[in-house]
Amino acid sequence: MIRVLLAEDQAMVRGALSALLNLESDIEVLASAADGEAAWREVQRLKPDVLVTDIEMPGLTGLELAQRIRRHELPVKVIIVTTFARPGFLRRALDAGVGGYLLKDAPAEGLADALRTVHRGGRAIDPQLALEAWSDADPLNDRERQVLRLAGEGHSASDIGSQLNLSHGTVRNYLSEAIGKLGAANRIEAYRLARQKGWL
Amino acid sequence: MIRVLLAEDQAMVRGALSALLNLESDIEVLASAADGEAAWREVQRLKPDVLVTDIEMPGLTGLELAQRIRRHELPVKVIIVTTFARPGFLRRALDAGVGGYLLKDAPAEGLADALRTVHRGGRAIDPQLALEAWSDADPLNDRERQVLRLAGEGHSASDIGSQLNLSHGTVRNYLSEAIGKLGAANRIEAYRLARQKGWL
DNA sequence: GTGCGGATGTGACAACCGTCACCCGGGGGT
DNA sequence: ACCCCCGGGTGACGGTTGTCACATCCGCAC
């Protein structure tokens, strides 16, 4: 019997996934959590064999959750199930030692199989995504990322400067760098590109 | 027995919802479709009692699907199940005569109940969303919407002008209007605001 | 200490953006 | 015929953005 904890913020999807997994005779969904912090508490309390988690959740993301489990050396395998086919996310997930990374686009039947594979100590990584993951790396450094994120939210250069204790000129330099590295025409396009790759 | 067709682009969620609904003894999921066009074909072929559909799907959106069903006067009730708590979406859905509008944030148990309610001819609208829906209306006109959408994708004023056969000056006038109406500081913020309200 | 590299600033320039006042032409009302 | 509104355009203004060359400072290797 594989003991599973489910973390997913959208209640309807959470309930549906739980129903799906409970159809399997060798899988038991112990509990489910609606956000990262709750999931962390349940992980410690229930010590499940496998945690199935979304990435985007309020509070603590699935990636941070995986990192935390690794840091505490808990014997809990992690499977990420997410909408986002962003190479950067997969990379970070692998760095955090997750056992599986599946897309919500993938067929539902695969989830139970992936769960069994990971429980046995194997890995279940979405194949087409695995290819892209090592193709192009994030060219941005920390400053460029911060600045680009704020710019994408509609802040002006001076605005960003005061938030980060930088001069507005420096902010524009970083933005210019980022735009150049991404081959974009302006900050808006750069933001969209970076976001789509999972780099922000 | 309520005969249901399910339309949802994310395979895993589709499978999970299907499993969830099939647990109910009075509900039968006839088939499921991965995009709007496929859903439309299945609606015609199977004549389900109720169509449960997402909004954001490749090809044809759930809203367009609902409109099409209404236009053809098919005896198929529609329930929208979506991530997006955007008042504008609910408004359009109601205009298209849908029977239900639920958020994926809502508890999964509610789905079957909503299905029964709608099948009986009732309505199942997410309550807190229903309030917001009539609160503030979209202040943008068509031109402003088009222009703002393109601007949000990173196009410059002249760029947009040539796409819409307008002068770049006029484009800037429209953008200025839109920014003003939305109380934003620049096009980026205006885009984000409009998008978040479901107005674009 | 010298030298190098990274992080941050500065100043200048051209292009672009946001705003405003105003112009034009074509429908509708009346 | 008259007026007025509406979609679209113009031109000018000041501010912002994107780019680049150059300056400064600090830490670290040698």
Query: Could you read off the pLDDT of A56-97 as tens digits, one per residue?
Result: 898 899 999 999 999 999 999 999 999 888 878 888 888 888
pLDDT at A199 over 90: no
pLDDT of residue B24: 93
pTM: 0.78
pLDDT of residue A83: 87
CA distance B200 to B196: 9
User: What is the residue type of B47?
Assistant: K
pLDDT of residue A133: 65
Lowest-confidence range among A191-195, B164-168, B194-198?
Answer: B194-198
Q: Which residue of chain A comes nearest to B110, CA vs CA?
A: A12
Q: Nearest Cα to A117, choosing from A17, A13, A26?
A: A26
Percent of chain B predicted with pLDDT > 90: 73
E strand or H helix at B184: none
Band (B59; pLDDT cuts 50, 70, 90): confident
pLDDT at B14 over 80: yes
Say whether B130 sits in a helix, a strand or coil.
helix
Q: Straight-line distance from CA B191 to C1' C21, in Å?
A: 27
State mean pLDDT over A125-130: 80
Tokens of B109: 């148990």
Q: Position of tokens 């599986």?
A: A100
User: Alpha carbon B187 to chain centroid distance?
Assistant: 24
ipTM above 0.90 for this complex: no
pLDDT of residue A22: 92
Q: Which residue of chain A comes nearest to B152, CA vs CA?
A: A188
Which residues, in sequence order, are bridge partners of residue B82?
B103
Of B12, B105, B184, the CB nearest to A106: B12
Tokens of A141: 């450094």
* Residue whose CA is minimally distant from C18 C1': B176
